[in-house]
Amino acid sequence: MTDPLPTGATIGILGGGQLGRMLSVAAARLGFKTHIYEPGANPPAADVAHACTTAAYDDTAALTAFAQSVDVITYEFENIPTEALDILEAIKPIHPNREALRISQDRLTEKDFLTGLGLNTAPYADIPDADALDAALVTIGTPSILKTRRFGYDGKGQARLKSDADAAQAITDMAGAPALLEGFVDFTIEVSVIAARSASGDVACYDPGENVHRDGILHTTTVPASLPASARTDAVLLAARILNALDYVGVMGVELFVTPTGLIVNEIAPRVHNSGHWTQNGCAVDQFEQHIRAVAGWPLGDGQRHSDVVMENLIGHDMDRVPELAAAPDTALHLYGKAETKPGRKMGHVNRITR
């Protein structure tokens, strides 16, 4: 491993959304500068960054100049084109590593990796075409979900199958993209473990948070989750196994289904995660700073929970509630400064300290 980055060094962040924005603030808290790389105009992260490059992921000159201007590179989303990563990695280190990206960019590869580690996932099958779906429905059955293997988020690129009769429409919904069929998991709750691993191999996990989704988008995360202590330990050990297997450096979000027979891994995200936003008001060191510490080769900070928190996402016109939320007790508001409010768009979140 390399020496820790000195304060004043520059951390390059691929992606200028709210995660990049909060990573940038955390980096500044440790005395780092940040440089954002983002194709879209006026990215939220640019408001709190030292520098911002507005360029596409196929712009070799811009990628090269960006990599040369920073000391280390990280990212706020996993769907970065491989060619861009090749250019960047030839110039500066990228954390979390390429293997973590490769695995999490493809749902099938991810499931194979997880089951290869001995972890449980939903039953799944590779669905390259309609025939494969017919065959998979025999073993996996319905209800089940057909998902594109790549580029899905917040419920996009997914089709639910209530019965075999939905198969044709589901295939149409995939629009020719390689897909994966996932069987139904009868879970009691969904929890996330936000896990961090430092360059020296230390692993620290935040308390699992309990997630509730609405319309396929995370609605609330509540800590502590309603989990028995044994399941809490299992969740943390499981997350640590994933990070260690990948020689991972940074923060990862691990979504788990809690079932009567044990924990099932839903998905992993090689980055800070929406379900970890509660840490901003529940811990001395939040997930964003923990990620920056890892990427910078620093020791992990203290992520012990000092307060119970309910995080609620503000989606689209939830922004109309801001005046009321701003005046509410025990409430910390976090807005992303997005110019336009759109239905389904994550505009901010609120952390309520409940104890």
Judge whether 349 and 311 are in contact, CB under 8 Å. yes
Beta bridge partners of 259: 262
Q: How far apart are CA 43 and CA 37, in angstroms?
A: 9
Q: Which stretch binds a copy of itself (CB under 8 A): 4-12, 80-88, 186-194, 263-271?
A: 4-12
190 is an annotated ligand-binding site residue: yes
Residue 69 binding a copy of itself, by CB under 8 A: no
As a three-state string, the secondary structure of 148-196 is: ECCCCCCCCCEEEECCHHHHHHHHHHHCCCCEEEEECCCCCEEEEEEEE
**Shortest distance, CB of residue 272 to a copy of itself, whole angstroms?**
16
302 is an annotated ligand-binding site residue: no
C-beta of 70 vs 256, nearer to a copy of itself: 70
C-beta of 8 vs 176, nearer to a copy of itself: 8
Task: Please tell me whether residue 334 adopts helix, strand or coil conformation.
Answer: strand
Q: How far apart are CA 63 and CA 53, in angstroms?
A: 9
Task: Please tell me whether residue 237 adopts helix, strand or coil conformation.
Answer: helix
182 is an annotated ligand-binding site residue: yes
Q: How far apart are CA 23 and CA 11, in angstroms?
A: 10
C-beta of 275 vs 351, nearer to a copy of itself: 351
Residue 327 binding a copy of itself, by CB under 8 A: yes
Q: Which stretch binds a copy of itself (CB under 8 A): 76-84, 88-96, 204-212, 292-300?
A: 292-300
- Per CB under 8 A, residues contacting a copy of itself are 4, 7-8, 21, 24-25, 28-34, 46-50, 281, 284-285, 293, 298-299, 301-302, 304, 306-307, 319, 322-323, 326-339, 348, 351, 353
Binding residues for ATP: 107, 147, 152-158, 182-185, 190, 213, 266-267
